[in-house]
Chain A
Amino acid sequence: MKRYRNDIILILAILVVALIATILINRNSTDENLKIYVYSQNKIVYEEVLDNIKEDKLIEIKGSESIVKILVTSDGVKIVESGCTNHVCINQGLIDKAGQTISCLPNEVYVVLRSEEGVDAIV
């Protein structure tokens, strides 16, 4: 048994390293957390995991035409103020499910909720 001691230690070490690597690599793909992404034109200007939102936050984004105010709460996200004329973005209301989006086209502001395990897109 003593003869194999070093072999056993080596094998166990390899197994532990491989197991940890597997867990780390696959951790992201099983993450069910809903994440908020806010884009202004072509840049992400805000991102946060919804579960991390403990207090309501009012975010002001500089859009192409006006300031767009976005309310982030633990229940979801909505656009509450925009200088656009049609207010379609405000009328879209609160989104709280993966794949849901809000667009303010005149301001080129786009809000999307994504998660690894939820809905990929909506129609």
Chain B
Amino acid sequence: MKKIYILILLLIGIMLSSCSQALRVTNCNPIYVMDTVITITFYNEKEADTHYKKIKEIYQLYDDLADDFSQSSRYENIYSLNEKRKIEAIPELIKLVEDALKLKVDTNGYFNPLIGNLAHIWKGAIEDDGAYPSSEVISSELEKMNNTTVNIIDTTIELIGDANMDLGAIAKGYATEMVINYLASNDVTGYLLSAGESSVALGAKGEDNFKIGLTKPFAKEYIKILECTNTSIGTSSYKYQMKEYAEGLAHHLINPFTGYPSYHYTSVNVMCPNSTLCDAYSTAIFSMDITTAKEFASNKGVDILLYGDNEILYQSEGFL
């Protein structure tokens, strides 16, 4: 009879173990920042509310700092830099601008933080009452961009030249990276951070992989569903920000060498553990031809998927 009891206890143990593997999922309320919706899901996390509040603060801080359309009520930000040309900035903004300038070098100029004027011109062209910009305007703004420098001395940032700064291409990824660092420093490993359809940062999901759908531009289908964990994916695509003109398609992903929208791809996905790099590289690669993009990604050790003409043009090993 003792053997039967042991067997029964073993069975109950197996059942309880199966119960304990059930994942506790906490879907937090959305955060509306940076022209997108940030959603956070925690897995098996007891302090989800506390972390949510801190994460919201981080996103709101960088939303304020990177805003180039309006003055922040709390801090000098990119808008005030563009308006005043010289500001006293908090350390977080100094670091953000320094990192953006490093990324310009890192991407061989394919990501350029001084693209502000051109970005606003093309954003205007996408609006309902917009018009296709003239070649004279584009040439003039390109010249301004190429003749502007940024000086950072202690807590002062100064724009020398007539171009404006725009950190929209990296702000979300940068803020997400700050959130990842915060979560890591608090030993939080089970999370999913999603910023609209432009980026995701993945921790762990119990013992499972996340299933991430790579959306096909202009279709309600997936290019593929990727199973992965502990990484980030950034996407650049103009599917929601475009307008057709007789002169060509206007959208917001501008080639900093020509001043015009890039047309090599309809979407670019970049996967690597660093959210800032995913964001910056997806923007930069959007303007590279396929040979340059492949070489760049290989040199940087990141995975890329290039999509255009309704097919995958190239995908590196991590996407296979």
Query: Which residues of A pack against B, CB within 8 Å?
Result: 4, 7, 11, 14-15, 18-19, 21-22, 25-26, 28-29, 37, 39, 41-43, 85-86, 88, 91-97, 99-101, 103, 105, 108, 110, 112, 114, 118-123
20 pairs of residues in contact across A and B, judged by CB atoms under 8 Å: A4-B1, A14-B12, A18-B11, A21-B15, A21-B19, A41-B32, A93-B220, A96-B220, A101-B197, A108-B32, A110-B30, A110-B37, A110-B39, A118-B211, A119-B212, A119-B213, A120-B212, A122-B213, A123-B198, A123-B214
- By beta carbon, the residue of chain B nearest A93 is B220
- The answer on a CB contact under 8 Å between B32 and A26 is no
8 A Cβ contacts from B176-196 to A: 192, 194, 196
- CB within 8 Å of A: which of B219-261? 220, 222, 225, 233-235, 240
A7 in contact with B1 (CB, 8 Å): yes
Q: Are A122 and B36 in contact (CB under 8 A)?
A: no
Whether, in the assembled complex, B23 has its beta carbon less than 8 Å from a beta carbon of chain A, the answer is yes
Please, which residues of chain B bring their CB within 8 A of the CB of A99? 211-213
CA distance A15 to B36 in the complex (A): 50
Tell me how many residue pairs across A and B have CB atoms closer than 8 Å: 109
* Residues of chain A lying within 8 A (CB to CB) of residue B16: 18
Q: Smallest CB–CB gap between A98 and chain B, Å?
A: 8
Contact A120–B22 (Cβ < 8 Å)? no
Task: Choose from A15, A21, A110 the contact partner of B11 (Cβ within 8 Å).
Answer: A15
- A94 to B199: give the CA distance in the assembly, Å: 21
Q: Which A residues touch B27, using CB under 8 A? A: 37, 114
Cβ–Cβ < 8 Å partners of B220 in chain A: 93-97
B26 at the A interface (CB under 8 A): no
User: Contacts of B15 on A, CB cut-off 8 Å?
Assistant: 18-19, 21-22
Q: How many whole Å from A72's CB to the nearest CB in chain B? A: 17
B18 within 8 A of A: yes
Interface residue count on the B side (C-beta < 8 Å): 45
Please report the C-alpha to C-alpha distance between residue A86 and residue B127 in the assembled complex, in whole angstroms: 8
Of B22, B200, B210, B214, the residue contacting A29 (CB under 8 A) is B22
Whether B1 pairs with A39 at a CB distance below 8 angstroms is no
Contacts of B128 in A (CB 8 A): 85-86
The reply to whether B18 and A97 contact each other, CB–CB distance below 8 Å, is: no
Interface check B146, CB cutoff 8 A: no
Supplied contacts A37-B27, A110-B30, A123-B212, 13 more A-B pairs, CB within 8 Å: A4-B1, A14-B8, A29-B22, A88-B240, A99-B213, A101-B37, A101-B196, A105-B32, A120-B210, A120-B211, A121-B213, A122-B214, A123-B200
Q: Which of B11, B30, B35, B128 has the most CB of A within 10 A?
A: B30
In the complex, which residues 15-59 of chain B have their Cβ closer than 8 Å to any Cβ of chain A?
A: 15-16, 18-19, 22-23, 27, 29-30, 32, 35-37, 39, 41
Residues of A within 8 A of B215 (CB): 122-123
> Is A105 a contact partner of B37 (Cβ separation < 8 A)?
yes
Docked-complex contact B8 and A25, CB < 8 angstroms:
no
In chain B, what residue has the closest Cβ to A12? B8
Q: Nearest chain B CB to A36's CB is how many angstroms away?
A: 13
Contacts of A105 in B (CB 8 A): 32, 35-37
* In the A-B complex, the 3 residue pairs with the closest CB atoms: A42-B29, A122-B213, A119-B213
